[in-house]
Structure 1
Amino acid sequence: MAKNADTPAMLNQDFRKWVKHWTGKGIGQVALSANISHSRAYAATAESNLVPRDLLLQIVRAAVPKSKSADDQDAWVRHWTKEWEQRWERIEASSRNEKHPLEPVEPVDTAGELVDTATESPLLPDTRHRPVARLPRAVAITALGPITDPIVREITAEHVYVAPEPIPVGYHNRSPISVYIDLHSASCLPEHREALSQFLAVRVRRTLADSNPDRAAIATPREGNLLIGSRVAEICGLPFLIVRTKRAPRFGFPVEGTFTEGTEAIIVDDLVMGTLTRYVAEILRHVGVTTRRCVSIFERTDSVAREQLDSIGVTLDSAYRIDDDLL
């Protein structure tokens, strides 16, 4: 696979050739075995459009040579998933930078005077044209009436942010939302971290009822709430795994932590949305960890998280289902 190809068009062309090489079939025929229509597969890899990451990886898995043994098939999928995913990330980052080049930000201090940009981070968000504000606690408490646990509701009410118009949010497939619940910031306070972790640990213990506790582990995406995930693992007395769905520093190996063959990981996070959790489940399975369940406090119903997990046999247990309309 070419390493210097850095455009979506070249990726699409090479990917179609690669599928043909390994399967002897067109990409549309291979896509059908992954429950992807002919037309969608061809449209997604046409001309200069960057093929969606999840579709790319679904077709990679569908193209595995059936003549190989089960172990060899797993190794083949891991190898080519890594190859195509890394190339996709390079091209996506390059395309994003071309469309949205970084501009100098002039951060303002609390006195309203300009701060010396030479000493500030160049990655500060520019919200001057789309102001984001924290919702007043009294308003949030009322809106969060459906949240039946009083402690979760109180903590959440302190960390609800709203935008005047939808803003794309997400690590892989970005979903436009107007209301954001920031339990990462809430978890930075020890008492809030403990309360939220204890709440989740109760649900995890319930999930563990039909599992072998000697083989169980807790897994949380690197981009997720590691503070809560690690504390839940500690409360439940289970090993903790960190799963990187983007760059993995340890020679590209995506799972950090200790596990053995036969380990079953329960994915734990504060909020599930988009395709992030699905990538976590697929990565765990590629390295030999069984994954059937995900436990979270919140689930965004206006994303495709539940459908994405259902499609790969992962059950999502979310305490509360939310969307922009809630607030």
Structure 2
Amino acid sequence: MNTKAIYAIGTTLVGCGLNNVFLEYIIKQDPGCGHLITFAQFLFIAIHGFIMTSKFGTVKPKIPFQTYLILVVLFFLTSVINNWAFDFNIPVPLHMIFRSGSLIANMIMGILILKKKYTLEKYISVAMITLGIIICTLMSSGGDKKKCTDCDAPIEQKQADDHFFWWIIGIALLTTALLLSARMGIYQESIYKHHGKHPQEALYYTHLYSIPGFIFYSSSIWEHMQIASASEPYQIPFVDFIIPTLWLWIFLNVTTQYLCISSVYVLTTECTSLTVTLVITLRKFLSLIFSIVYFQNPFTIYHWFGSGLVFFGTLLFAEVFTKMGQSKEVKAAQKSMKKRN
């Protein structure tokens, strides 16, 4: 493994992990700021792409504008809905576990649209992931409601019912985002087949062309910008500069988000699909553990069992265990060949 690949693995684990940490800091202070976070991320990547990818508009895109339009709509809706879900009582650990169900959505879309057929192993792995997500979802559904089962106060019971209702809306949003993301992946594959792979260009233009869509969320963005500006001030060490705490977390979330995306891109070009799957799965698992321990999010033995099914099913779907066995056989064969020679 070369130095670039090792660096990509390290920055993926660090960048994506820190991104989740800063996201949770933001959500703890202002759960409804999903649109502001998404807008900040899109704006940062668009500005960076304008400078580094399009060279201040001097480099013409290799993929036509019309081709990008459908991809932009799907990408914009997926990103907005995923961050919007935090406003509906969705805890960060459940959000991470639920988004790991993208393989289920990909399989459904593959069967419906591409008429694909899968092996029994794929169906078993997807069943494991589905069961794991269902367990984690059900265990995360009744926390506040259970607290009021023995209470006589109708106001408290109504609050618990309202909490559960909005939680259901949040689950529906996450499910919609999963299906949209899977459909986007299929469309992206068709674009690459016709025009070739240009991931940096696609990253730039999907974010740039999506920015006008935030006009529909301008009131929400402005409202949460004011909340961020009114948050507790924080003095940056070694520098005589004070910044509202929420703005600091948002800035760190945006920069680590870009580090995460760019690192995964390098990872896919420098490493095998087996390595990429292992690194991304490990990153999700470490982020989940950190979120539970550091932020003290409620997590029962059932959550552990469900998340274990999700991660094991993901590795099974990616044929990690099969490939690892094959690589061991190849190494053993190579050793025996060397001994004979």
Normalised TM-score (structure 2): 0.23
Q: Please identify which structure carries the higher strand content.
A: 1
Normalised TM-score (structure 1): 0.24
